[in-house]
Structure 1
Protein backbone atom coordinates (compact mmCIF):
# COMPACT_ATOMS: atom_id res chain seq x y z
CA UNK A 1 0.00 0.00 0.00
CA UNK A 2 1.28 3.46 -0.88
CA UNK A 3 2.44 5.55 2.09
CA UNK A 4 0.61 8.83 1.63
CA UNK A 5 2.09 10.36 4.81
CA UNK A 6 5.67 10.49 3.48
CA UNK A 7 6.23 13.33 0.99
CA UNK A 8 7.19 12.40 -2.55
CA UNK A 9 10.36 14.40 -3.34
CA UNK A 10 10.05 16.78 -6.28
CA UNK A 11 12.62 18.77 -8.22
CA UNK A 12 11.09 21.73 -10.02
CA UNK A 13 12.56 24.40 -12.28
CA UNK A 14 11.42 27.99 -12.54
CA UNK A 15 11.08 29.92 -15.78
CA UNK A 16 14.29 31.79 -14.91
CA UNK A 17 16.20 28.53 -14.45
CA UNK A 18 16.32 28.10 -10.65
CA UNK A 19 16.09 24.56 -9.25
CA UNK A 20 13.43 24.28 -6.53
CA UNK A 21 13.29 21.51 -3.95
CA UNK A 22 9.75 20.43 -3.07
CA UNK A 23 7.74 17.62 -1.55
CA UNK A 24 4.28 16.29 -2.37
CA UNK A 25 1.70 14.66 -0.11
CA UNK A 26 -0.69 13.06 -2.57
CA UNK A 27 -4.39 13.90 -2.38
CA UNK A 28 -7.45 12.66 -4.24
CA UNK A 29 -7.07 15.08 -7.14
CA UNK A 30 -9.64 17.60 -5.94
CA UNK A 31 -7.68 20.26 -4.06
CA UNK A 32 -3.95 20.88 -3.69
CA UNK A 33 -2.41 23.30 -1.20
CA UNK A 34 0.84 24.90 -2.38
CA UNK A 35 2.59 25.64 0.91
CA UNK A 36 4.96 28.64 0.94
CA UNK A 37 7.23 29.13 3.97
CA UNK A 38 8.60 32.24 5.64
CA UNK A 39 12.05 33.79 5.41
CA UNK A 40 14.89 31.38 6.43
CA UNK A 41 12.47 28.44 6.76
CA UNK A 42 12.10 25.25 4.69
CA UNK A 43 9.31 22.84 3.84
CA UNK A 44 11.44 20.10 5.48
CA UNK A 45 11.39 21.75 8.91
CA UNK A 46 9.11 20.26 11.59
CA UNK A 47 6.73 23.24 11.71
CA UNK A 48 6.08 23.10 7.97
CA UNK A 49 5.80 19.31 7.99
CA UNK A 50 3.25 19.57 10.80
CA UNK A 51 1.22 22.13 8.84
CA UNK A 52 1.36 19.97 5.72
CA UNK A 53 0.15 16.98 7.70
CA UNK A 54 -2.75 18.98 9.16
CA UNK A 55 -3.78 20.25 5.72
CA UNK A 56 -3.45 16.82 4.13
CA UNK A 57 -6.91 15.54 5.13
CA UNK A 58 -8.31 18.50 3.18
CA UNK A 59 -6.31 17.81 -0.01
CA UNK A 60 -2.92 17.21 -1.52
CA UNK A 61 -0.01 19.38 -0.40
CA UNK A 62 3.06 20.57 -2.29
CA UNK A 63 5.59 22.26 -0.03
CA UNK A 64 8.50 24.08 -1.62
CA UNK A 65 11.77 25.67 -0.58
CA UNK A 66 12.04 29.17 -1.99
CA UNK A 67 15.17 30.01 -3.95
CA UNK A 68 18.16 30.45 -1.67
CA UNK A 69 16.52 28.33 1.03
CA UNK A 70 17.11 24.74 2.07
CA UNK A 71 18.00 22.49 -0.84
CA UNK A 72 16.82 24.86 -3.56
CA UNK A 73 19.27 26.67 -5.80
CA UNK A 74 19.71 30.36 -6.40
CA UNK A 75 19.58 33.25 -3.96
CA UNK A 76 16.67 34.69 -2.02
CA UNK A 77 15.21 37.93 -3.34
CA UNK A 78 13.09 38.26 -0.19
CA UNK A 79 9.67 38.24 -1.86
CA UNK A 80 10.36 39.44 -5.40
CA UNK A 81 11.24 36.65 -7.85
CA UNK A 82 9.88 34.03 -5.45
CA UNK A 83 6.62 34.37 -7.37
CA UNK A 84 8.32 32.23 -10.02
CA UNK A 85 8.99 29.53 -7.42
CA UNK A 86 5.28 29.44 -6.57
CA UNK A 87 4.51 29.35 -10.28
CA UNK A 88 6.62 26.19 -10.64
CA UNK A 89 4.82 24.53 -7.73
CA UNK A 90 1.37 25.47 -9.07
CA UNK A 91 2.33 24.02 -12.46
CA UNK A 92 3.46 20.81 -10.72
CA UNK A 93 0.07 20.56 -9.00
CA UNK A 94 -1.76 21.00 -12.30
CA UNK A 95 0.39 18.34 -13.97
CA UNK A 96 -0.66 15.94 -11.22
CA UNK A 97 -4.30 16.46 -12.07
CA UNK A 98 -5.47 18.67 -9.23
CA UNK A 99 -8.60 20.59 -10.21
CA UNK A 100 -8.27 23.31 -7.55
CA UNK A 101 -5.05 24.90 -6.29
CA UNK A 102 -4.91 26.94 -3.07
CA UNK A 103 -1.70 28.93 -2.54
CA UNK A 104 -1.05 29.17 1.20
CA UNK A 105 1.82 31.28 2.54
CA UNK A 106 3.28 32.30 5.87
CA UNK A 107 5.07 35.61 6.54
CA UNK A 108 7.29 36.22 3.47
CA UNK A 109 5.48 33.31 1.82
CA UNK A 110 2.17 35.05 2.54
CA UNK A 111 3.37 38.15 0.72
CA UNK A 112 4.62 36.01 -2.16
CA UNK A 113 1.33 34.12 -2.67
CA UNK A 114 -0.60 37.41 -2.69
CA UNK A 115 1.75 38.82 -5.31
CA UNK A 116 1.68 35.59 -7.34
CA UNK A 117 -2.11 35.38 -7.43
CA UNK A 118 -2.40 39.08 -8.30
CA UNK A 119 0.30 39.17 -10.98
CA UNK A 120 0.13 35.68 -12.50
CA UNK A 121 -3.28 34.23 -11.62
CA UNK A 122 -4.10 30.61 -12.32
CA UNK A 123 -5.10 29.64 -8.76
CA UNK A 124 -8.44 29.02 -7.10
CA UNK A 125 -7.94 30.51 -3.62
CA UNK A 126 -5.29 32.39 -1.65
CA UNK A 127 -4.44 32.15 2.05
CA UNK A 128 -1.97 34.69 3.48
CA UNK A 129 -0.89 34.20 7.10
CA UNK A 130 1.18 36.72 9.12
CA UNK A 131 2.24 38.54 5.96
CA UNK A 132 3.61 42.06 5.59
CA UNK A 133 1.28 44.32 3.65
CA UNK A 134 4.08 46.75 2.77
CA UNK A 135 7.84 46.69 2.38
CA UNK A 136 10.61 48.21 4.53
CA UNK A 137 8.69 47.93 7.80
CA UNK A 138 11.06 48.48 10.74
CA UNK A 139 8.63 49.13 13.57
CA UNK A 140 9.53 46.03 15.63
CA UNK A 141 12.83 44.67 16.93
CA UNK A 142 12.59 41.41 14.91
CA UNK A 143 12.08 43.38 11.69
CA UNK A 144 14.99 45.69 12.40
CA UNK A 145 17.12 42.58 12.82
CA UNK A 146 15.73 41.12 9.59
CA UNK A 147 16.67 44.27 7.68
CA UNK A 148 20.18 44.12 9.10
CA UNK A 149 20.46 40.51 7.89
CA UNK A 150 19.29 41.35 4.38
CA UNK A 151 21.07 44.67 3.89
CA UNK A 152 24.49 44.04 5.45
CA UNK A 153 27.18 41.72 4.11
CA UNK A 154 27.90 40.46 7.62
CA UNK A 155 24.21 39.81 8.17
CA UNK A 156 23.91 37.81 4.96
CA UNK A 157 26.97 35.77 5.93
CA UNK A 158 25.55 35.14 9.40
CA UNK A 159 22.19 33.89 8.16
CA UNK A 160 23.89 31.71 5.57
CA UNK A 161 25.99 30.05 8.26
CA UNK A 162 23.19 29.80 10.84
CA UNK A 163 20.22 28.95 8.62
CA UNK A 164 21.63 28.00 5.24
CA UNK A 165 19.77 30.88 3.59
CA UNK A 166 21.59 32.54 0.69
CA UNK A 167 20.47 36.12 0.04
CA UNK A 168 21.08 38.00 -3.20
CA UNK A 169 23.51 40.85 -2.38
CA UNK A 170 22.26 43.47 -4.82
CA UNK A 171 18.84 44.24 -3.36
CA UNK A 172 15.76 45.17 -5.40
CA UNK A 173 16.02 47.02 -8.70
CA UNK A 174 13.31 47.95 -9.39
CA UNK A 175 11.37 47.63 -6.13
CA UNK A 176 8.60 45.03 -6.64
CA UNK A 177 4.97 45.88 -6.02
CA UNK A 178 4.10 45.54 -2.34
CA UNK A 179 1.32 43.08 -1.43
CA UNK A 180 -1.20 45.81 -0.59
CA UNK A 181 -0.54 47.50 -3.93
CA UNK A 182 -1.65 44.44 -5.91
CA UNK A 183 -4.12 42.65 -3.60
CA UNK A 184 -7.09 44.18 -5.41
CA UNK A 185 -6.16 42.23 -8.54
CA UNK A 186 -6.73 38.82 -6.92
CA UNK A 187 -10.53 38.96 -7.25
CA UNK A 188 -12.66 37.11 -8.18
CA UNK A 189 -10.41 34.48 -6.57
CA UNK A 190 -11.22 34.21 -2.83
CA UNK A 191 -8.62 35.61 -0.42
CA UNK A 192 -8.23 34.78 3.27
CA UNK A 193 -5.99 37.05 5.36
CA UNK A 194 -4.98 35.64 8.77
CA UNK A 195 -3.08 37.69 11.33
CA UNK A 196 -2.35 37.35 15.02
CA UNK A 197 -2.83 40.08 17.59
CA UNK A 198 0.38 38.88 19.29
CA UNK A 199 2.56 39.01 16.17
CA UNK A 200 6.01 40.25 17.20
CA UNK A 201 7.09 40.94 13.60
CA UNK A 202 4.12 42.67 11.93
CA UNK A 203 1.31 44.28 13.96
CA UNK A 204 -2.30 43.67 13.00
CA UNK A 205 -2.50 46.81 10.88
CA UNK A 206 -0.65 44.82 8.20
CA UNK A 207 -3.50 42.32 8.11
CA UNK A 208 -6.07 45.12 7.98
CA UNK A 209 -4.17 46.95 5.24
CA UNK A 210 -3.96 43.83 3.09
CA UNK A 211 -7.64 43.04 3.61
CA UNK A 212 -8.74 46.62 2.93
CA UNK A 213 -6.75 46.69 -0.31
CA UNK A 214 -8.36 43.49 -1.58
CA UNK A 215 -11.66 43.12 -3.40
CA UNK A 216 -14.47 40.67 -2.74
CA UNK A 217 -14.56 37.79 -2.07
CA UNK A 218 -12.25 38.20 0.94
CA UNK A 219 -12.10 37.37 4.64
CA UNK A 220 -9.98 38.62 7.53
CA UNK A 221 -9.30 36.55 10.64
CA UNK A 222 -7.64 38.35 13.54
CA UNK A 223 -6.51 35.53 15.82
CA UNK A 224 -6.28 36.30 19.57
CA UNK A 225 -2.93 35.36 21.18
CA UNK A 226 -1.57 34.12 17.84
CA UNK A 227 2.06 35.05 17.27
CA UNK A 228 3.86 34.83 13.98
CA UNK A 229 3.67 32.45 11.04
CA UNK A 230 4.51 28.75 10.95
CA UNK A 231 5.92 28.25 14.43
CA UNK A 232 2.89 29.82 16.12
CA UNK A 233 0.21 28.23 13.90
CA UNK A 234 -1.79 25.71 15.92
CA UNK A 235 -3.34 22.57 14.42
CA UNK A 236 -6.77 24.08 15.10
CA UNK A 237 -5.95 27.21 13.08
CA UNK A 238 -4.47 25.18 10.21
CA UNK A 239 -7.49 22.87 10.20
CA UNK A 240 -9.83 25.87 10.01
CA UNK A 241 -7.78 27.24 7.12
CA UNK A 242 -8.14 23.89 5.35
CA UNK A 243 -11.91 23.91 5.87
CA UNK A 244 -12.18 27.50 4.63
CA UNK A 245 -10.14 26.72 1.52
CA UNK A 246 -12.07 23.61 0.51
CA UNK A 247 -15.32 25.51 0.99
CA UNK A 248 -14.04 28.51 -0.96
CA UNK A 249 -13.14 26.43 -4.02
CA UNK A 250 -16.25 24.23 -3.99
CA UNK A 251 -18.28 24.44 -7.21
CA UNK A 252 -21.35 25.46 -5.22
CA UNK A 253 -19.64 28.46 -3.57
CA UNK A 254 -22.02 31.45 -3.82
CA UNK A 255 -20.89 34.08 -6.30
CA UNK A 256 -19.10 37.15 -4.92
CA UNK A 257 -21.39 39.67 -3.30
CA UNK A 258 -24.19 37.30 -2.29
CA UNK A 259 -23.19 37.16 1.40
CA UNK A 260 -23.17 39.89 3.99
CA UNK A 261 -19.90 41.81 3.84
CA UNK A 262 -17.32 42.52 5.07
CA UNK A 263 -16.00 39.26 6.57
CA UNK A 264 -13.95 40.43 9.53
CA UNK A 265 -13.68 37.62 12.04
CA UNK A 266 -11.98 37.38 15.41
CA UNK A 267 -11.55 33.79 16.54
CA UNK A 268 -11.26 32.88 20.18
Structure 2
Protein backbone atom coordinates (compact mmCIF):
# COMPACT_ATOMS: atom_id res chain seq x y z
CA UNK A 1 0.00 0.00 0.00
CA UNK A 2 2.97 2.34 0.54
CA UNK A 3 3.21 2.98 -3.20
CA UNK A 4 0.01 5.04 -3.02
CA UNK A 5 1.25 7.11 -0.09
CA UNK A 6 3.34 10.25 -0.52
CA UNK A 7 5.17 12.79 1.64
CA UNK A 8 4.03 16.40 1.60
CA UNK A 9 5.55 19.40 3.39
CA UNK A 10 3.11 21.91 4.86
CA UNK A 11 2.79 24.72 7.36
CA UNK A 12 -0.13 25.67 9.56
CA UNK A 13 -0.69 28.33 12.20
CA UNK A 14 -1.32 27.97 15.89
CA UNK A 15 -3.62 30.30 17.82
CA UNK A 16 -0.69 32.66 18.57
CA UNK A 17 -0.10 33.24 14.86
CA UNK A 18 3.12 31.18 14.70
CA UNK A 19 3.67 28.96 11.69
CA UNK A 20 4.28 25.30 12.51
CA UNK A 21 6.28 23.08 10.15
CA UNK A 22 4.68 19.76 9.28
CA UNK A 23 5.22 16.63 7.22
CA UNK A 24 2.16 14.75 6.00
CA UNK A 25 2.37 11.15 4.80
CA UNK A 26 -0.93 10.39 3.18
CA UNK A 27 -2.74 8.20 0.71
CA UNK A 28 -5.23 9.09 -2.02
CA UNK A 29 -8.22 9.31 0.35
CA UNK A 30 -8.32 10.90 3.82
CA UNK A 31 -9.35 8.27 6.34
CA UNK A 32 -7.65 7.66 9.68
CA UNK A 33 -4.64 9.80 10.57
CA UNK A 34 -2.08 9.57 13.36
CA UNK A 35 -0.70 12.88 14.67
CA UNK A 36 2.76 12.30 16.19
CA UNK A 37 4.04 14.76 18.82
CA UNK A 38 7.75 14.84 19.66
CA UNK A 39 9.34 15.18 23.08
CA UNK A 40 11.04 18.04 24.94
CA UNK A 41 13.82 19.55 22.76
CA UNK A 42 12.90 17.05 19.99
CA UNK A 43 11.72 17.54 16.42
CA UNK A 44 9.18 16.04 14.06
CA UNK A 45 11.62 13.68 12.34
CA UNK A 46 12.60 11.96 15.58
CA UNK A 47 16.13 11.42 14.35
CA UNK A 48 14.64 9.69 11.30
CA UNK A 49 12.67 7.09 13.25
CA UNK A 50 9.40 9.03 13.05
CA UNK A 51 9.72 9.11 9.26
CA UNK A 52 10.20 5.34 9.11
CA UNK A 53 7.29 4.76 11.49
CA UNK A 54 5.03 6.93 9.32
CA UNK A 55 5.89 4.85 6.28
CA UNK A 56 5.17 1.65 8.21
CA UNK A 57 1.83 3.14 9.21
CA UNK A 58 1.19 3.84 5.54
CA UNK A 59 1.76 0.14 4.81
CA UNK A 60 -1.11 -0.52 7.22
CA UNK A 61 -3.42 2.10 5.70
CA UNK A 62 -2.93 4.98 8.12
CA UNK A 63 -1.89 8.52 7.26
CA UNK A 64 0.53 10.40 9.54
CA UNK A 65 1.15 14.03 10.44
CA UNK A 66 4.50 14.92 11.98
CA UNK A 67 5.03 18.51 13.15
CA UNK A 68 7.41 20.65 15.16
CA UNK A 69 6.03 22.35 18.24
CA UNK A 70 6.44 26.14 18.23
CA UNK A 71 9.99 27.09 19.17
CA UNK A 72 11.28 23.69 18.06
CA UNK A 73 12.72 22.33 14.83
CA UNK A 74 11.62 24.33 11.78
CA UNK A 75 8.59 25.96 13.40
CA UNK A 76 8.44 29.63 14.31
CA UNK A 77 8.98 30.84 17.85
CA UNK A 78 11.69 30.78 20.50
CA UNK A 79 12.38 27.67 22.55
CA UNK A 80 12.60 29.78 25.71
CA UNK A 81 8.92 30.68 25.25
CA UNK A 82 7.66 27.10 25.29
CA UNK A 83 4.96 25.98 27.70
CA UNK A 84 2.77 22.95 28.13
CA UNK A 85 -0.26 25.15 27.41
CA UNK A 86 1.41 26.20 24.16
CA UNK A 87 2.12 22.58 23.24
CA UNK A 88 -1.50 21.62 23.97
CA UNK A 89 -2.68 24.42 21.70
CA UNK A 90 -0.29 23.29 18.96
CA UNK A 91 -1.77 19.78 19.15
CA UNK A 92 -5.28 21.27 19.02
CA UNK A 93 -4.34 23.24 15.90
CA UNK A 94 -2.93 20.08 14.29
CA UNK A 95 -6.30 18.42 14.92
CA UNK A 96 -8.01 21.44 13.34
CA UNK A 97 -5.77 21.02 10.28
CA UNK A 98 -6.54 17.32 9.89
CA UNK A 99 -10.27 17.93 10.13
CA UNK A 100 -9.98 20.69 7.52
CA UNK A 101 -8.13 18.21 5.27
CA UNK A 102 -11.05 15.81 5.53
CA UNK A 103 -9.70 13.12 7.88
CA UNK A 104 -12.49 11.20 9.55
CA UNK A 105 -10.68 9.66 12.55
CA UNK A 106 -7.78 11.32 14.38
CA UNK A 107 -5.40 9.53 16.73
CA UNK A 108 -2.92 11.59 18.76
CA UNK A 109 0.31 10.07 20.05
CA UNK A 110 3.08 11.84 21.95
CA UNK A 111 6.41 10.97 23.50
CA UNK A 112 7.66 12.36 26.82
CA UNK A 113 6.59 16.04 27.12
CA UNK A 114 4.60 15.58 23.91
CA UNK A 115 2.87 12.69 25.66
CA UNK A 116 1.73 14.99 28.45
CA UNK A 117 0.41 17.38 25.80
CA UNK A 118 -1.67 14.73 24.02
CA UNK A 119 -3.12 13.51 27.33
CA UNK A 120 -4.13 17.04 28.28
CA UNK A 121 -5.62 17.78 24.85
CA UNK A 122 -7.23 14.36 24.49
CA UNK A 123 -9.02 14.66 27.80
CA UNK A 124 -10.97 17.71 26.67
CA UNK A 125 -11.04 17.51 22.86
CA UNK A 126 -13.62 14.89 21.96
CA UNK A 127 -12.72 15.24 18.28
CA UNK A 128 -9.79 12.91 18.93
CA UNK A 129 -10.72 9.24 18.50
CA UNK A 130 -7.88 7.80 20.57
CA UNK A 131 -4.79 8.79 22.56
CA UNK A 132 -1.41 7.14 23.13
CA UNK A 133 1.40 8.44 25.35
CA UNK A 134 4.98 7.14 25.44
CA UNK A 135 7.29 7.90 28.39
CA UNK A 136 4.93 10.68 29.46
CA UNK A 137 5.18 12.62 32.76
CA UNK A 138 1.99 12.28 34.80
CA UNK A 139 2.78 15.38 36.88
CA UNK A 140 4.98 17.61 34.70
CA UNK A 141 5.55 20.32 37.31
CA UNK A 142 6.95 17.84 39.81
CA UNK A 143 9.20 16.22 37.20
CA UNK A 144 10.62 19.42 35.71
CA UNK A 145 11.14 21.05 39.11
CA UNK A 146 13.45 18.16 39.96
CA UNK A 147 15.50 18.86 36.80
CA UNK A 148 16.34 22.46 37.66
CA UNK A 149 20.08 22.95 37.30
CA UNK A 150 20.06 25.83 39.77
CA UNK A 151 17.29 27.27 41.91
CA UNK A 152 17.36 31.01 41.05
CA UNK A 153 16.75 32.35 37.57
CA UNK A 154 19.59 33.78 35.52
CA UNK A 155 19.91 37.54 35.46
CA UNK A 156 18.23 37.60 32.05
CA UNK A 157 15.15 35.95 33.55
CA UNK A 158 15.80 32.52 32.05
CA UNK A 159 16.03 29.30 34.04
CA UNK A 160 18.50 26.55 33.06
CA UNK A 161 17.13 23.02 32.85
CA UNK A 162 19.50 20.08 32.63
CA UNK A 163 18.56 16.95 30.73
CA UNK A 164 19.73 14.30 28.30
CA UNK A 165 20.26 16.90 25.56
CA UNK A 166 22.34 19.16 27.79
CA UNK A 167 21.14 22.41 29.33
CA UNK A 168 18.34 24.51 27.86
CA UNK A 169 16.90 27.83 29.00
CA UNK A 170 13.23 28.46 29.69
CA UNK A 171 11.29 31.31 31.26
CA UNK A 172 9.98 31.26 34.82
CA UNK A 173 6.50 31.21 33.31
CA UNK A 174 7.22 27.68 32.04
CA UNK A 175 6.99 26.39 35.64
CA UNK A 176 4.00 28.53 36.54
CA UNK A 177 2.16 27.11 33.54
CA UNK A 178 3.05 23.53 34.49
CA UNK A 179 1.29 23.98 37.83
CA UNK A 180 -2.11 24.13 36.14
CA UNK A 181 -1.71 20.80 34.30
CA UNK A 182 -2.08 17.26 35.60
CA UNK A 183 -1.75 14.73 32.80
CA UNK A 184 -3.00 11.84 34.91
CA UNK A 185 -6.18 13.71 35.76
CA UNK A 186 -6.70 14.52 32.07
CA UNK A 187 -6.28 10.82 31.26
CA UNK A 188 -9.38 10.14 33.37
CA UNK A 189 -11.41 12.23 30.89
CA UNK A 190 -10.43 10.27 27.77
CA UNK A 191 -12.83 7.34 28.32
CA UNK A 192 -14.79 5.93 26.50
CA UNK A 193 -12.18 6.61 23.81
CA UNK A 194 -9.23 4.17 23.85
CA UNK A 195 -5.95 4.99 25.59
CA UNK A 196 -2.57 3.27 25.15
CA UNK A 197 0.20 3.95 27.68
CA UNK A 198 3.75 2.83 26.76
CA UNK A 199 6.76 3.16 29.05
CA UNK A 200 10.27 1.78 29.46
CA UNK A 201 10.88 -0.32 32.53
CA UNK A 202 14.34 1.25 32.98
CA UNK A 203 13.34 4.88 32.29
CA UNK A 204 15.50 7.02 34.60
CA UNK A 205 14.20 10.33 33.24
CA UNK A 206 10.46 9.80 33.70
CA UNK A 207 10.07 6.97 36.24
CA UNK A 208 7.75 4.06 35.47
CA UNK A 209 5.42 5.18 38.26
CA UNK A 210 4.25 7.98 35.93
CA UNK A 211 2.82 5.45 33.47
CA UNK A 212 1.24 3.46 36.29
CA UNK A 213 -0.44 6.60 37.65
CA UNK A 214 -1.75 7.58 34.21
CA UNK A 215 -3.10 4.08 33.60
CA UNK A 216 -4.67 3.89 37.07
CA UNK A 217 -6.42 7.25 36.60
CA UNK A 218 -7.84 6.39 33.17
CA UNK A 219 -11.14 4.73 32.48
CA UNK A 220 -11.60 2.03 29.89
CA UNK A 221 -10.82 0.95 27.33
CA UNK A 222 -7.17 1.29 28.32
CA UNK A 223 -4.00 -0.62 27.60
CA UNK A 224 -0.55 -0.39 29.17
CA UNK A 225 2.65 -1.78 27.67
CA UNK A 226 5.81 -1.83 29.78
CA UNK A 227 8.90 -2.42 27.63
CA UNK A 228 11.30 -4.60 29.60
CA UNK A 229 14.78 -3.09 29.95
CA UNK A 230 13.93 0.01 27.89
CA UNK A 231 15.19 3.48 28.79
CA UNK A 232 13.48 6.83 28.23
CA UNK A 233 14.43 6.85 24.54
CA UNK A 234 13.49 3.16 24.07
CA UNK A 235 17.05 2.66 22.83
CA UNK A 236 17.19 -0.66 21.00
CA UNK A 237 13.52 -1.27 21.80
CA UNK A 238 11.62 1.07 19.51
CA UNK A 239 10.33 -1.77 17.33
CA UNK A 240 8.62 -3.19 20.43
CA UNK A 241 6.95 0.17 20.96
CA UNK A 242 5.84 0.33 17.34
CA UNK A 243 4.48 -3.21 17.49
CA UNK A 244 2.40 -2.39 20.58
CA UNK A 245 1.13 0.79 18.93
CA UNK A 246 0.32 -0.87 15.59
CA UNK A 247 -1.56 -3.70 17.33
CA UNK A 248 -3.54 -1.19 19.40
CA UNK A 249 -4.42 0.82 16.27
CA UNK A 250 -5.52 -2.26 14.33
CA UNK A 251 -7.63 -3.44 17.28
CA UNK A 252 -9.50 -0.19 17.91
CA UNK A 253 -9.22 1.64 14.57
CA UNK A 254 -9.13 -0.98 11.78
CA UNK A 255 -8.89 0.36 8.22
Gaps of 5+ in 1: 252-268
User: Which residues of 2 match residues 56-67 of structure 1 at below 5 A?
Assistant: 56-58=58-60, 59-67=62-70
The alignment yields a C-alpha RMSD, in angstroms, of 3.1
Contact 2:84-2:174 at 8 Å conserved across structures:
no
Runs of 4+ deviating beyond 2 Å: 2-7, 27-30, 47-58, 74-80, 135-138, 143-159, 162-176, 229-233
After TM superposition, the score normalised by the length of structure 1 is 0.79
1:181 maps to: 185
Contact 1:106-1:230 at 8 Å conserved across structures:
no
Gaps of 5+ in 2: none
After TM superposition, the score normalised by the length of structure 2 is 0.82
Give 3-state SS (helix, strand or coil) of 2:22's partner: strand
- Report deviation, 1:216: 1.0
2:135 maps to: 130
Q: 1:41 to 1:29 in 2, by over 3 A?
A: same
State the aligned residue count. Answer: 244
Q: 2:122 aligns with which of 117, 125, 138?
A: 117
Give 3-state SS (helix, strand or coil) of 2:205's partner: coil
2:56 maps to: 54
Larger deviation, residues 34-43 vs 162-171? 162-171
2:249 maps to: 245
2:20 maps to: 20
Tell me whether 1:7 sits opposite 2:20 in the alignment. no
Q: 1:68 aligns with which of 53, 66, 71?
A: 71
Tell me whether 1:201 sits opposite 2:205 in the alignment. yes
1: CA distance between counterparts of 2:105 and 2:151? 35
- Report deviation, 1:224: 0.6
Contact 2:161-2:170 at 8 Å conserved across structures:
no
1:87 maps to: 92
* Structure with higher RCO (Cα < 8 A, 6+ apart): 1
Give 3-state SS (helix, strand or coil) of 1:43's partner: coil
1:261 maps to: none
2: CA distance between counterparts of 1:189 and 1:231? 30
2: CA distance between counterparts of 1:203 and 1:157? 22
Q: 1:29 to 1:197 in 2, by over 3 A?
A: same
Give 3-state SS (helix, strand or coil) of 1:67's partner: coil
Deviation per residue, 1:54-83 (Å, 9 max, x gap): 333231000011111011122453422211
Contact 1:11-1:20 at 8 Å conserved across structures:
yes
